[in-house]
Amino acid sequence: MAPNHHIKNILGSGSRIESRFVPDYKKLKQTVDALRGMGYKIVLTQGVYDLIHEGHSAYLETAKSLGDILIVGVDSDALTRQRKGKGRPIVPQSERLKMLVHLRSVDIVTLRDVKHDIGHLIRLIQPDVLVASKSTSDFKKDQVYEYKTFCKKIVILPPQGVTSTSARVRKLTIDGVEKLAEEISKLTQGFISKIRGGL
């Protein structure tokens, strides 16, 4: 079983990344079993959590309200690139994990990698409540219900914010391109003026 001090650190205040980040799946399973044995209701959700914004925070808070312990499976950098494209993630996994641990609603974070299919953590943890987002493109409603055997309840939440990470990335890209275009225009005009001045 998971040592008592480890459980105490998870349940205590403070971010304690060394206690709340559980990358070893065997230890994660032991921890979940210990918490469940203590009567805690386990909630699981999964995602990238790149450029964490208000929508992420509201989503995780809602997920936590459905039980006692919220576990977040975070996509590794390699898995994120596979799912979202080579420009992602913007924020590396080490920072994304730390940011999530600082959120009051998150109790445990773990890492999902390319070698794990989308149902791996679900089958391992067998949560009391599985929470998924309606906006997750590669985890559609019918796919979620394939995992009903491993969960007591499945909850699909609508997007919780007015923006998305993808929208923010697009805006940053557009803003960056526009600023670059302005600078090139200024340099070009200056160069043309110098050439004309030399004629």
Per-residue confidence in pLDDT tens, the chain, 199 aa: 455 778 988 988 887 899 999 999 999 999 999 999 999 999 999 999 988 888 889 999 999 999 999 999 999 999 999 988 888 888 999 999 999 999 999 999 999 999 988 889 999 999 999 999 887 655 565 667 788 899 999 999 887 655 555 555 555 555 555 565 566 666 666 656 666 666 5
Contact criterion met (CB below 8 Å) for 46 and 100: no
Shared domain for 132 and 185, answered yes or no, is: no
Shared domain for 120 and 37, answered yes or no, is: yes
Fill in the amino acid letter for 62.
T
Residue 97: partners with Cβ closer than 8 Å, 6 or more residues away: 17, 21, 74, 109, 111
CATH number of the domain to which 36 belongs: 3.40.50.620
The residue range of the domain holding 188 is 164-199
- Does the pTM exceed 0.85? no
Using CA atoms, how far apart are residues 188 and 190, in angstroms rounded to an integer?
5
Shared domain for 158 and 168, answered yes or no, is: no
Shared domain for 143 and 177, answered yes or no, is: no
Shared domain for 151 and 177, answered yes or no, is: no
Shared domain for 80 and 22, answered yes or no, is: yes
Shared domain for 152 and 55, answered yes or no, is: yes
Separation of CA 109 from chain center: 9
In the chain, how many domains are there?
2
Shared domain for 84 and 176, answered yes or no, is: no
Shared domain for 61 and 72, answered yes or no, is: yes
